[in-house]
Chains A and B, each alone.
Chain A
Protein backbone atom coordinates (compact mmCIF):
# COMPACT_ATOMS: atom_id res chain seq x y z
CA UNK A 1 0.00 0.00 0.00
CA UNK A 2 2.89 2.37 0.69
CA UNK A 3 3.94 2.36 -2.93
CA UNK A 4 0.62 3.68 -4.18
CA UNK A 5 1.05 7.43 -3.53
CA UNK A 6 4.44 7.35 -5.25
CA UNK A 7 2.97 5.51 -8.19
CA UNK A 8 0.19 8.05 -8.37
CA UNK A 9 2.66 10.93 -8.42
CA UNK A 10 4.66 9.30 -11.19
CA UNK A 11 1.47 8.75 -13.18
CA UNK A 12 0.38 12.34 -12.69
CA UNK A 13 3.78 13.48 -13.92
CA UNK A 14 3.49 11.32 -16.99
CA UNK A 15 0.01 12.63 -17.76
CA UNK A 16 1.07 16.22 -17.16
CA UNK A 17 4.19 15.85 -19.30
CA UNK A 18 2.24 14.17 -22.07
CA UNK A 19 -0.13 17.08 -22.20
CA UNK A 20 2.35 19.91 -22.05
CA UNK A 21 4.46 18.37 -24.79
CA UNK A 22 1.57 17.89 -27.15
CA UNK A 23 1.36 20.36 -30.01
CA UNK A 24 -1.24 20.64 -32.68
CA UNK A 25 -0.20 20.10 -36.29
CA UNK A 26 -0.34 22.91 -38.82
CA UNK A 27 -2.68 21.89 -41.62
CA UNK A 28 -3.00 22.97 -45.22
CA UNK A 29 -0.53 23.63 -47.96
CA UNK A 30 3.00 24.69 -47.23
CA UNK A 31 5.93 25.80 -49.32
CA UNK A 32 9.57 26.24 -48.48
CA UNK A 33 11.25 29.56 -49.06
CA UNK A 34 14.90 30.20 -49.01
CA UNK A 35 16.30 33.55 -48.05
CA UNK A 36 19.70 34.88 -47.27
CA UNK A 37 20.27 35.84 -43.64
CA UNK A 38 23.74 37.03 -42.55
CA UNK A 39 25.28 35.61 -45.67
CA UNK A 40 23.78 32.13 -45.10
CA UNK A 41 20.98 30.57 -47.03
CA UNK A 42 18.15 29.71 -44.63
CA UNK A 43 15.13 27.63 -45.58
CA UNK A 44 11.84 28.49 -43.95
CA UNK A 45 8.31 27.17 -44.39
CA UNK A 46 5.35 29.31 -45.36
CA UNK A 47 2.10 27.81 -44.12
CA UNK A 48 -1.36 28.24 -45.56
CA UNK A 49 -3.19 31.05 -43.76
CA UNK A 50 -6.68 32.55 -43.89
CA UNK A 51 -6.41 35.64 -46.15
CA UNK A 52 -7.76 39.04 -45.02
CA UNK A 53 -11.56 39.22 -44.97
CA UNK A 54 -14.30 41.70 -44.18
CA UNK A 55 -17.93 40.82 -43.44
CA UNK A 56 -20.97 42.33 -41.73
CA UNK A 57 -21.95 40.74 -38.42
CA UNK A 58 -25.28 40.20 -36.65
CA UNK A 59 -25.14 43.75 -35.24
CA UNK A 60 -24.62 45.19 -38.75
CA UNK A 61 -21.05 46.09 -37.83
CA UNK A 62 -18.19 45.43 -40.23
CA UNK A 63 -15.74 42.93 -38.83
CA UNK A 64 -12.51 41.82 -40.43
CA UNK A 65 -9.48 39.60 -39.91
CA UNK A 66 -7.91 42.16 -37.54
CA UNK A 67 -10.71 41.54 -35.05
CA UNK A 68 -9.37 38.00 -34.72
CA UNK A 69 -5.66 38.87 -34.50
CA UNK A 70 -5.27 38.27 -30.79
CA UNK A 71 -7.44 35.23 -30.47
CA UNK A 72 -7.73 31.67 -31.62
CA UNK A 73 -11.09 31.00 -33.21
CA UNK A 74 -13.42 28.32 -34.48
CA UNK A 75 -14.93 28.90 -37.92
CA UNK A 76 -17.90 27.18 -39.52
CA UNK A 77 -20.31 27.54 -42.43
CA UNK A 78 -24.07 27.30 -41.90
CA UNK A 79 -27.39 28.96 -42.71
CA UNK A 80 -30.27 29.86 -40.43
CA UNK A 81 -32.99 27.94 -42.27
CA UNK A 82 -30.86 24.80 -42.52
CA UNK A 83 -32.88 21.70 -41.67
CA UNK A 84 -30.00 19.24 -41.71
CA UNK A 85 -26.72 19.41 -39.82
CA UNK A 86 -26.56 23.08 -38.77
CA UNK A 87 -28.74 22.84 -35.66
CA UNK A 88 -26.39 20.22 -34.21
CA UNK A 89 -23.36 22.30 -35.16
CA UNK A 90 -24.90 25.34 -33.45
CA UNK A 91 -25.74 23.29 -30.39
CA UNK A 92 -22.16 22.05 -30.19
CA UNK A 93 -20.70 25.52 -30.75
CA UNK A 94 -22.87 26.66 -27.86
CA UNK A 95 -20.95 24.16 -25.70
CA UNK A 96 -17.66 25.67 -26.92
CA UNK A 97 -18.94 29.18 -26.19
CA UNK A 98 -20.06 28.25 -22.70
CA UNK A 99 -16.70 26.67 -21.89
CA UNK A 100 -14.73 29.76 -22.97
CA UNK A 101 -17.27 32.44 -22.14
CA UNK A 102 -15.54 35.74 -21.42
CA UNK A 103 -12.14 34.47 -22.59
CA UNK A 104 -10.86 37.26 -24.86
CA UNK A 105 -8.50 34.85 -26.60
CA UNK A 106 -11.29 32.64 -27.91
CA UNK A 107 -13.82 33.56 -30.61
CA UNK A 108 -16.30 31.82 -32.88
CA UNK A 109 -16.95 32.86 -36.48
CA UNK A 110 -20.02 31.46 -38.24
CA UNK A 111 -20.38 32.31 -41.91
CA UNK A 112 -23.83 32.14 -43.47
CA UNK A 113 -23.79 30.51 -46.89
CA UNK A 114 -27.37 31.67 -47.57
CA UNK A 115 -26.20 35.12 -48.58
CA UNK A 116 -29.61 36.24 -49.90
CA UNK A 117 -31.85 35.37 -46.98
CA UNK A 118 -29.50 35.57 -43.97
CA UNK A 119 -29.20 39.34 -43.61
CA UNK A 120 -27.65 40.74 -40.39
CA UNK A 121 -31.17 41.11 -38.99
CA UNK A 122 -31.97 37.44 -39.61
CA UNK A 123 -28.62 36.44 -38.11
CA UNK A 124 -29.29 38.58 -35.03
CA UNK A 125 -32.65 36.91 -34.54
CA UNK A 126 -31.06 33.48 -34.88
CA UNK A 127 -28.31 34.33 -32.38
CA UNK A 128 -30.79 35.76 -29.88
CA UNK A 129 -33.04 32.72 -30.09
CA UNK A 130 -30.02 30.48 -29.68
CA UNK A 131 -29.26 32.42 -26.50
CA UNK A 132 -26.09 34.08 -27.80
CA UNK A 133 -25.34 37.72 -27.08
CA UNK A 134 -22.16 39.74 -26.91
CA UNK A 135 -19.43 39.65 -29.54
CA UNK A 136 -17.53 36.48 -28.75
CA UNK A 137 -19.54 34.53 -31.32
CA UNK A 138 -19.78 36.40 -34.62
CA UNK A 139 -22.39 35.46 -37.21
CA UNK A 140 -21.43 37.00 -40.52
CA UNK A 141 -23.06 37.95 -43.77
CA UNK A 142 -21.14 38.63 -46.98
CA UNK A 143 -21.45 38.49 -50.73
CA UNK A 144 -21.82 35.03 -52.20
CA UNK A 145 -18.44 35.38 -53.84
CA UNK A 146 -16.62 36.35 -50.65
CA UNK A 147 -18.27 33.71 -48.44
CA UNK A 148 -17.79 30.81 -50.84
CA UNK A 149 -14.30 32.08 -51.63
CA UNK A 150 -13.25 32.06 -47.99
CA UNK A 151 -14.85 28.63 -47.43
CA UNK A 152 -12.24 27.27 -49.85
CA UNK A 153 -9.50 28.82 -47.74
CA UNK A 154 -10.85 27.06 -44.64
CA UNK A 155 -10.98 23.89 -46.79
CA UNK A 156 -14.74 23.56 -46.26
CA UNK A 157 -17.00 22.57 -49.13
CA UNK A 158 -20.05 24.81 -49.55
CA UNK A 159 -22.20 25.24 -52.65
CA UNK A 160 -25.71 26.30 -53.56
CA UNK A 161 -27.66 23.20 -54.62
CA UNK A 162 -31.43 23.21 -55.05
CA UNK A 163 -31.66 19.45 -54.55
CA UNK A 164 -29.96 19.53 -51.12
CA UNK A 165 -32.12 19.97 -47.98
CA UNK A 166 -32.69 23.69 -47.51
CA UNK A 167 -31.07 24.53 -50.88
CA UNK A 168 -27.40 24.38 -49.89
CA UNK A 169 -24.87 21.65 -49.73
CA UNK A 170 -22.08 22.04 -47.22
CA UNK A 171 -19.79 20.27 -44.81
CA UNK A 172 -20.14 20.46 -41.06
CA UNK A 173 -16.53 21.06 -40.17
CA UNK A 174 -15.54 23.22 -37.24
CA UNK A 175 -12.14 24.65 -38.16
CA UNK A 176 -9.68 25.71 -35.46
CA UNK A 177 -7.54 28.72 -36.40
CA UNK A 178 -4.59 30.01 -34.41
CA UNK A 179 -3.54 33.62 -33.77
CA UNK A 180 -1.46 33.58 -36.96
CA UNK A 181 -4.52 32.52 -38.99
CA UNK A 182 -3.11 29.05 -39.59
CA UNK A 183 -5.38 25.98 -39.64
CA UNK A 184 -4.67 23.80 -36.61
CA UNK A 185 -7.56 21.35 -36.67
CA UNK A 186 -10.80 20.30 -38.36
CA UNK A 187 -13.57 18.57 -36.42
CA UNK A 188 -16.94 17.13 -37.41
CA UNK A 189 -19.36 19.56 -35.77
CA UNK A 190 -22.10 16.93 -35.62
CA UNK A 191 -20.01 14.41 -33.67
CA UNK A 192 -19.93 14.82 -29.88
CA UNK A 193 -16.58 13.07 -29.47
CA UNK A 194 -14.92 15.26 -32.07
CA UNK A 195 -16.37 18.37 -30.46
CA UNK A 196 -14.82 17.40 -27.10
CA UNK A 197 -11.58 16.76 -28.98
CA UNK A 198 -11.88 20.29 -30.39
CA UNK A 199 -12.20 21.73 -26.90
CA UNK A 200 -9.20 19.69 -25.67
CA UNK A 201 -7.20 20.91 -28.66
CA UNK A 202 -8.22 24.52 -27.97
CA UNK A 203 -6.70 24.17 -24.49
CA UNK A 204 -3.49 22.84 -26.05
CA UNK A 205 -3.42 25.64 -28.60
CA UNK A 206 -4.00 28.33 -25.95
CA UNK A 207 -1.00 26.99 -24.03
CA UNK A 208 1.24 27.82 -27.01
CA UNK A 209 0.69 31.48 -26.22
CA UNK A 210 1.39 31.30 -22.49
Chain B
Protein backbone atom coordinates (compact mmCIF):
# COMPACT_ATOMS: atom_id res chain seq x y z
CA UNK B 1 0.00 0.00 0.00
CA UNK B 2 2.28 2.68 -1.26
CA UNK B 3 -0.32 5.18 -2.13
CA UNK B 4 -2.43 6.27 0.88
CA UNK B 5 -5.22 7.37 -1.49
CA UNK B 6 -5.60 3.86 -2.86
CA UNK B 7 -5.88 2.33 0.61
CA UNK B 8 -8.48 4.93 1.63
CA UNK B 9 -10.48 4.18 -1.49
CA UNK B 10 -10.19 0.47 -0.77
CA UNK B 11 -11.50 0.89 2.78
CA UNK B 12 -14.39 3.01 1.50
CA UNK B 13 -15.26 0.39 -1.09
CA UNK B 14 -15.28 -2.35 1.55
CA UNK B 15 -17.57 -0.30 3.80
CA UNK B 16 -19.90 0.39 0.89
CA UNK B 17 -20.14 -3.29 -0.05
CA UNK B 18 -20.81 -4.28 3.57
CA UNK B 19 -23.44 -1.58 3.98
CA UNK B 20 -25.13 -2.71 0.79
CA UNK B 21 -25.13 -6.29 1.95
CA UNK B 22 -26.73 -5.23 5.25
CA UNK B 23 -29.40 -3.31 3.44
CA UNK B 24 -30.10 -6.29 1.23
CA UNK B 25 -30.44 -8.43 4.31
CA UNK B 26 -32.86 -5.95 5.85
CA UNK B 27 -34.91 -5.92 2.65
CA UNK B 28 -35.14 -9.70 2.75
CA UNK B 29 -36.11 -9.59 6.42
CA UNK B 30 -38.72 -6.94 5.70
CA UNK B 31 -40.25 -9.06 2.93
CA UNK B 32 -40.29 -12.05 5.27
CA UNK B 33 -41.89 -10.09 8.13
CA UNK B 34 -44.38 -8.57 5.70
CA UNK B 35 -45.50 -11.98 4.40
CA UNK B 36 -45.89 -13.42 7.91
CA UNK B 37 -47.64 -10.26 9.03
CA UNK B 38 -50.22 -10.48 6.28
CA UNK B 39 -51.71 -13.74 7.55
CA UNK B 40 -51.57 -12.57 11.17
CA UNK B 41 -53.32 -9.35 10.11
CA UNK B 42 -56.09 -11.40 8.50
CA UNK B 43 -56.71 -13.42 11.64
CA UNK B 44 -56.21 -10.67 14.25
CA UNK B 45 -56.91 -7.22 12.79
CA UNK B 46 -58.91 -7.45 9.59
CA UNK B 47 -62.35 -7.95 11.15
CA UNK B 48 -62.38 -4.40 12.45
CA UNK B 49 -59.78 -2.58 10.37
CA UNK B 50 -60.86 -4.30 7.12
CA UNK B 51 -58.83 -5.94 4.43
CA UNK B 52 -57.59 -2.71 2.90
CA UNK B 53 -57.03 -0.94 6.22
CA UNK B 54 -59.91 1.49 5.81
CA UNK B 55 -61.48 0.72 9.22
CA UNK B 56 -65.26 0.98 9.67
CA UNK B 57 -67.07 4.33 9.70
CA UNK B 58 -66.38 6.15 12.98
CA UNK B 59 -66.23 2.89 14.92
CA UNK B 60 -62.78 1.58 14.03
CA UNK B 61 -60.00 3.85 12.80
CA UNK B 62 -58.31 3.39 9.42
CA UNK B 63 -54.66 2.33 9.24
CA UNK B 64 -54.04 4.54 6.25
CA UNK B 65 -53.05 7.67 8.20
CA UNK B 66 -49.30 7.50 7.61
CA UNK B 67 -48.46 10.55 9.68
CA UNK B 68 -50.30 9.07 12.67
CA UNK B 69 -48.36 5.81 12.34
CA UNK B 70 -45.06 7.67 11.97
CA UNK B 71 -45.79 9.91 14.94
CA UNK B 72 -46.76 6.96 17.17
CA UNK B 73 -44.21 4.47 15.87
CA UNK B 74 -42.88 3.56 19.32
CA UNK B 75 -46.41 3.13 20.73
CA UNK B 76 -47.78 0.91 17.96
CA UNK B 77 -46.61 -2.30 19.65
CA UNK B 78 -48.30 -1.19 22.90
CA UNK B 79 -51.57 -0.53 21.02
CA UNK B 80 -51.53 -4.02 19.54
CA UNK B 81 -50.50 -5.85 22.72
CA UNK B 82 -52.49 -4.00 25.38
CA UNK B 83 -55.34 -2.43 23.40
CA UNK B 84 -56.39 1.21 23.51
CA UNK B 85 -58.57 2.83 26.15
CA UNK B 86 -58.10 6.50 25.32
CA UNK B 87 -59.47 8.65 22.52
CA UNK B 88 -57.28 8.96 19.43
CA UNK B 89 -57.38 11.38 16.53
CA UNK B 90 -56.75 9.50 13.32
CA UNK B 91 -57.37 10.81 9.81
CA UNK B 92 -58.62 14.05 11.41
CA UNK B 93 -61.42 12.15 13.12
CA UNK B 94 -61.86 11.21 16.75
CA UNK B 95 -62.15 7.55 17.72
CA UNK B 96 -63.01 6.29 21.19
CA UNK B 97 -64.10 2.69 20.66
CA UNK B 98 -62.07 0.55 23.03
CA UNK B 99 -59.56 -1.61 21.21
CA UNK B 100 -59.20 -5.08 22.73
CA UNK B 101 -55.81 -6.33 23.93
CA UNK B 102 -53.97 -9.04 22.02
CA UNK B 103 -51.91 -10.31 24.91
CA UNK B 104 -51.46 -13.71 23.29
CA UNK B 105 -49.25 -12.27 20.53
CA UNK B 106 -45.47 -12.60 20.93
CA UNK B 107 -43.04 -9.72 20.28
CA UNK B 108 -42.04 -11.40 17.05
CA UNK B 109 -45.63 -11.74 15.85
CA UNK B 110 -46.27 -8.07 16.68
CA UNK B 111 -43.18 -7.16 14.63
CA UNK B 112 -44.58 -9.17 11.71
CA UNK B 113 -47.98 -7.44 11.99
CA UNK B 114 -46.50 -3.95 12.32
CA UNK B 115 -44.15 -4.50 9.39
CA UNK B 116 -47.15 -5.55 7.34
CA UNK B 117 -49.33 -2.58 8.37
CA UNK B 118 -46.36 -0.21 8.24
CA UNK B 119 -45.71 -1.08 4.60
CA UNK B 120 -49.27 -1.49 3.32
CA UNK B 121 -52.21 0.86 2.76
CA UNK B 122 -49.87 3.60 1.51
CA UNK B 123 -47.53 3.42 4.52
CA UNK B 124 -43.76 3.17 4.19
CA UNK B 125 -42.30 2.68 7.64
CA UNK B 126 -39.75 0.05 6.61
CA UNK B 127 -38.87 -2.95 8.76
CA UNK B 128 -40.19 -2.92 12.32
CA UNK B 129 -37.92 -5.47 13.98
CA UNK B 130 -38.59 -7.76 16.92
CA UNK B 131 -35.97 -5.84 18.92
CA UNK B 132 -37.74 -2.57 18.21
CA UNK B 133 -41.05 -4.09 19.35
CA UNK B 134 -39.48 -5.46 22.57
CA UNK B 135 -38.01 -2.04 23.38
CA UNK B 136 -41.34 -0.30 22.70
CA UNK B 137 -43.18 -2.78 24.90
CA UNK B 138 -40.90 -2.06 27.85
CA UNK B 139 -41.98 1.57 27.73
CA UNK B 140 -45.74 1.24 27.32
CA UNK B 141 -47.93 3.81 28.98
CA UNK B 142 -51.19 2.05 29.63
CA UNK B 143 -54.14 4.38 29.86
CA UNK B 144 -57.33 2.66 30.93
By a beta-carbon cutoff of 8 Å, the part of chain A in contact with chain B is 81, 83-88, 90-91, 94, 126, 128-131, 165-166
Roughly how many angstroms separate A129 CA and B100 CA in the complex, as a whole number? Answer: 18
Contact B47 A88 (CB under 8 A): yes
Expressed in whole angstroms, the minimum distance between the Cβ of B52 and any Cβ of chain A is: 12
Expressed in whole angstroms, the minimum distance between the Cβ of B16 and any Cβ of chain A is: 48
Residues of A near B58 (CB, < 8 A) are 128-131
By a beta-carbon cutoff of 8 Å, the part of chain B in contact with chain A is 47-48, 50, 56-60, 97-98, 100
Beyond the given A85-B47, A87-B59, could you list 10 further A-B residue pairs with CB under 8 A, ordered by the A residue number?
Answer: A84-B47, A87-B60, A91-B50, A129-B57, A129-B58, A129-B59, A130-B56, A131-B58, A165-B100, A166-B100
Contact A126 B59 (CB under 8 A): yes
Roughly how many angstroms separate A84 CA and B42 CA in the complex, as a whole number? Answer: 11
> Are A129 and B97 also in contact (CB < 8 A) when A90-B56, A91-B56 are?
yes
Expressed in whole angstroms, the minimum distance between the Cβ of A25 and any Cβ of chain B is: 31
Residue of A nearest to B99 (CB): A83
Residues of B near A83 (CB, < 8 A) are 47-48, 100
Expressed in whole angstroms, the minimum distance between the Cβ of A133 and any Cβ of chain B is: 12
Residues of B near A87 (CB, < 8 A) are 47-48, 56, 59-60
Roughly how many angstroms separate A128 CA and B98 CA in the complex, as a whole number? Answer: 16
Residues of A near B59 (CB, < 8 A) are 87, 90, 126, 129-130
Residue of B nearest to A126 (CB): B59
- A sample of 30 cross-chain residue pairs with beta-carbon separation below 8 angstroms, ordered by A number, consists of A81-B100, A83-B47, A83-B48, A83-B100, A84-B47, A86-B47, A87-B47, A87-B48, A87-B56, A87-B59, A87-B60, A88-B47, A90-B56, A90-B59, A91-B50, A91-B56, A94-B57, A126-B59, A128-B58, A129-B57, A129-B58, A129-B97, A130-B56, A130-B57, A130-B58, A130-B59, A131-B57, A131-B58, A165-B100, A166-B100
